[in-house]
A and B are shown apart, each in its own frame.
Chain A
Amino acid sequence: MQLLRKLRGANNEGSLVLVLLAVVIGMSLLNPVFFTVNTAFSILRAATVPMILALAVLLVIISGGIDVSFPVVAIGSAYTAVTICLKTGFDPGLPAIFLMAMVIGGLLGLVNGFVIARFRLPTLIVTLGTQGIFFGAMLVYGCTRYYPSLPDSMAALSAVNVIDIPTDTGRAYLHVLVLLSIAIAVIIWAVLKFTMFGRSLYAIGGDVEGARRAGIRVVRTQLLIYVLVGMVAAIGGVAYVVMSRSANPQDLVGGELDIIAAVVLGGASIFGGRGSVGGTVIGVLLIQVINNSLLLVGVPSAWLRAAVGLLLILGVGIQAITARRSAQRIHSVDDAVVATGPELEKVS
Chain B
Amino acid sequence: MKTEQAPRAQSGANSFADLNNRLGRTVADAVGRTLRDRGVSRMLIALVVAFAFFAVMRPRIFLGPINMQNIMVAAPEVGVIAIAMMLAMLTGGIDLSLVSIANLSAVTMSTLFTMMAASNPAFGESMTVPIILMGLLVGTACGLLNGLLISIVGITPILATLATMQILNGIAIVWTGGKTLYGAPAALTVFGKTALGPVPMLFIVFLLVAIVIATVVRSTALGRKLELQGANPVAARFSGIPSRSVLIASYTLGGLLAGLAGVLFLCRNPTASADYGASYVLLVIVIAVLGGTNPNGGFATVAGVVLATLTLQVVSSGFTALRLSPYQYSIAQGVILVVVMILDTIDWSRFKRKRGPATESASLQTTQVGSIKKEKEQE
Contacts and interface: CB of A to CB of B under 8 A. Distances in A.
A324 B154 contact: yes
B169 A126 contact: no
Nearest to B174: A302
A270 B331 contact: no
B282 interface: yes
Contact of B325 (A121, A135, A140, A257): A140
Interface string B322-350: 00010111111111011001100100010
Given A126-B341, A302-B173, A270 B327 contact: no
Q: Which of B158, B165, B330 has the most CB of A within 10 A?
A: B330
A166 interface: no
A63 to B, nearest CB: 16
Given A128-B285, A129-B337, A309 B295 contact: no
A300 interface: yes
A132 B325 contact: no
B345 A122 contact: no
Query: Size range of the interface on B?
Result: 35 or more
B163 interface: yes
Contact of B163 (A115, A313, A320): A313
B155 interface: yes
B227 to A, nearest CB: 19
Bin the interface of chain A by size.
35 or more
Given A129-B337, A140-B327, A309 B174 contact: no
A120 interface: yes
A119 B342 contact: yes
26 contacts: A66-B158, A124-B158, A125-B285, A132-B331, A132-B334, A133-B331, A133-B335, A134-B334, A136-B329, A136-B330, A137-B331, A140-B331, A257-B162, A257-B166, A261-B162, A261-B163, A270-B159, A305-B166, A305-B167, A308-B166, A309-B165, A309-B167, A312-B163, A313-B167, A320-B156, A321-B153
A260 interface: yes
Contacts of A271: 156
A136 B334 CA distance: 9
B282 A128 contact: yes
B330 to A, nearest CB: 4
Given A125-B285, A136-B328, A139-B327, A130 B338 contact: yes
B164 interface: yes
Interface in A101-145: 115, 119-122, 124-126, 128-137, 139-140
B263 interface: no
Nearest to B329: A136
A265 B5 CA distance: 59
Contact of A209 (B149, B327, B337, B359): B359
Contacts of A129: 282, 286, 333-335, 337-338, 341
Given A306-B169, A306-B170, A132 B154 contact: no
